[in-house]
Amino acid sequence: MNDAPHAEALLRAVERFLEQDVVPALDGVARFHARVAANVVAMVAREIETEAEHAEAEWRRLAELLGPAGPLPGALPARRAALAARGEELTRRIRAGDADQGPFRAQVLAHLRRTVADKMSVSRPPRQRARPE
């Protein structure tokens, strides 16, 4: 692990620089592209900041739906692969009709809503941030 500043802090610094110094100094297409760049940097920072929490929550929900599968792997590639495998298992159950009705359907819908909300919290720009003009 690297010493401070960590990746999140570095990305947030670049985001602030783009939003506060670069965007106001530009016009037209260049200003738009600078805003896009600032949003990309912010999205990457949010993903880094929330990925572990979101993955652990999804793993717990999948365990409630599908049964336990042991601990979530710690290494990022293994963690992503394990979540994808459990997601595929859920997909097979949905395709088999297991979620067409009843309590399992309600659990699946709740899981999917929460999972999509977590993903959207990474991709959407925060509402509270004011854009400099």
Provide the angle, in degrees to the nearest 10, between the axes of the packed helices 28-66 and 7-17: 150
Torsion, Cα 32 125 57 62, to 10 degrees, reads -60
* One pLDDT digit (tens) per residue for the chain, 133 residues: 667 788 999 999 999 999 999 999 999 999 999 999 999 999 999 999 999 999 999 999 999 999 999 999 999 999 999 999 999 999 999 999 999 999 999 999 999 999 999 999 998 866 644 444 4
Q: What is the pLDDT of residue 127?
A: 60
> Rounded distance, CA 45 to CA 50, Å?
9
Q: What is the pLDDT of residue 50?
A: 94
Cβ burial of 15 (10 Å; 0-12, 13-18, 19+) is buried
* Spans of all domains in the chain: 7-123
Q: What is the pLDDT of residue 128?
A: 46
